[in-house]
Structure 1
Amino acid sequence: MDKVLQLKKNLTQLAILDATFEVFGSESHQYQFKPCKSSKDIQVFESRYNITLPSEYRNFLLEIGNGGAGPGYGLSGLSGIESEDVIPEKLYPENYEILSKPFPFTKAWNDLDLIVKNNTDLVTNNNDYFDDKFIQGTLTITNYGCGIYAMLIVTGEQSGKIWIDDRTNDNGIYPACLSFCHAFHDINPDDSYPNSNNEEQPLSFYDWYEDWLNRSLEQIRQSSET
């Protein structure tokens, strides 16, 4: 079955089964989606920021919706001319050109020296740890809460993959791999924490989204059996 059709089928099933919004974050989106974007809409967005959206995400925007039901508190979308939800929250408008620069990482990253400097240099308000250069080439597509964001990589060799910005909690930037999904997409997302290592690979947009769907469906099925 076509991947988009399979996602639609599972989304419909989840929305029916989870009528009381038991899945984490589902009260925020209630399994609804904003209207799909047209190819022209997407081209305008890509032209404005000099990027090319990965094919899986592009197809999702065209055929399923422009933000809505999804991991965390739901998927962000391409909003309007003045403000795009997917533009990283920490990114200053004058630095939008870095969206087209290559994403800098291929394995989990953190810098303890920058963390110490950021946490102790309060007088000068040093924010080197949160420098925009660390999230260049990304779009923020999900807010998991507690300062944890899922990013879709749109440039470089990681294009199309999902990475996590967890710098707010001093955990750096790391791939959205299976161990992360196990921690954040399972029944009790706050009861465990990702233990990513450099050997685990980031999931593609479809695989990441499908992981959330499958785990959510399993949660509701288990709940109905008790």
Structure 2
Amino acid sequence: MDGVWAGARERVLAVRERPHWREVFGADWPGGHGHGFRLEPVLTEPEVRAVEQGLGVELPGEYRDFLLQVGAGGAGPDYGLFGHRVTGPDAEPGSGACALPFRPEATDELDGHEGAEPRPDDYADDEALRRDHAAWQARHDTLHASLTDGTLCLSHQGCGYYTLLAVTGPERGTLWDDVRAVGEGVQPVTLQDKPRVTFAQWYLSWLEHAERTAAEGRPRFRAT
């Protein structure tokens, strides 16, 4: 193995041997939901192509190589990476949403649409209000659902937040936070001074932090 993922699988699995690995967020969670610094087996090239066929899109290179060299899911930021189920030729086709254009500007469009919600004070006719609000709601639902078009959901952050990988459009290969649960749409993941973060930057930054925390423990704050 060479390139950006050289030695990454071995590093992840080794974290579990360090004394404070349970202190890494998402690693050890009641009910066996933590990722435990375990990784699923890597995929073969034909299996990755089958995943891509099911999604209807070619995966960005860093993530594709991760599946081939590190693992198909398991240990990773937050509660770990979702795995991939390789399906056969008779499997039901996917929704096709991954292959649609990823449009970050849709979050602003949704914000503008929400500001234009029909108000009862503007209507003398209840039937007209119901009609216009129904049309507004239908458009709202469409915009809300479209925010994740062209993305692959990688992981659950907790509290209804998710991490997405853009797989189409100019932002292809970058990471995004799905924070629709708090009405903030889809926002770019940032890292220090980087306004955009790729999958490898995101994952390897987490791994460095996990290794340090597992070896040294979380900082302890003392009252003065």
**Which one of the candidate residues 150, 163, 166 is aligned to 1:153?**
166
Q: 1:220 to 1:156 in 2, by over 3 A?
A: same
Q: Is the 8 A contact 1:163 1:175 kept in 2?
A: yes
Listed one character per residue, the Cα deviations across residues 58-105 of structure 1 (whole Å, up to 9, x for unaligned) are 1111111110000111001212439xxxxxxxxxx9981231122112
**Letter aligned with residue 51 of structure 1:** V
Letter in 1 for 2:101: P
1: CA distance between counterparts of 2:105 and 2:196?
9
Distance 1:160 1:210, change over 3 A: same
Aligned alpha-carbon RMSD (Å): 3.3
1:167-182 alignment, distance < 5 Å: 167-178=180-191
Partner of 1:209: 203
Q: 1:63 aligns with which of 69, 84, 91?
A: 69
User: How far does the alpha carbon of each residue in 1:111-161 deviate from its partner, in whole angstroms, 9 at most, with x for none?
Assistant: 44555689x9xx969472663221111110010011111001111111111
**Is the partner of 1:139 in helix, strand or coil?**
strand
Q: CA deviation at 1:167?
A: 0.7
Q: List alignment gaps of at least 5 residues for structure 2.
A: 29-33, 120-132
Given that 1:110 and 1:171 are in contact with CA atoms closer than 8 Å, whether structure 2 keeps it comes out as: no
TM-score by length of 1: 0.72
Query: What residue in structure 2 maps to residue 88 of structure 1?
Result: none
Q: Supply the distance in 2 between the matched residues of 1:214 and 1:110 (Cα, whole angstroms).
A: 37
Q: Distance in 1 between matches of 2:187 and 2:76?
A: 20
Q: Greater CA deviation, 210-219 or 124-133?
A: 124-133
Paired residues of 1:109 and 1:173 also in contact (CA < 8 A):
no
Asked if the contact 1:102–1:136 (Cα under 8 Å) also holds between the matched residues in 2, the reply is: yes
Moved more, 124-133 or 149-158: 124-133
1:179-200 superposed Cα distances (whole Å, 9 cap, x missing partner): 5xxxxxxxxxxxxxxxxxxx95
In structure 2, relative to structure 1, the CA distance for the partners of 1:218 and 1:105 (3 Å cut) is same
Structure number with bigger Rg: 2
Equivalent-residue separation in structure 1 for 2:215 and 2:98 (angstroms): 40
Q: In structure 2, what is the equivalent of residue 163 of structure 1?
A: 176
1:75 and 2:81 correspond: yes
SS for the counterpart of 1:140 is strand
> Contact conserved, 1:164 with 1:174, CA < 8 A, in 2?
yes
Alignment of 1:40-51 (within 5 A): 40-51=46-57
The residue identity in structure 2 corresponding to 1:40 is P
Normalising to structure 2: TM-score of the pair?
Answer: 0.73
Structure 2: which amino acid aligns with 1:211?
S
Query: How big is the shift at 1:50?
Result: 2.0
Q: Taking CA–CA contacts closer than 8 Å with sequence separation of 6 or more, which of the two structures ends up with the larger relative contact order?
A: 2
Aligned to 1:85: none
CA distance in structure 1 between the partners assigned to 2:52 and 2:58 by the alignment: 6
How much identity, in percent, do the aligned residues show? 26
Decide which moves more: 215-224 or 199-208. 215-224
Distance 2:25 2:116 in 1: 35
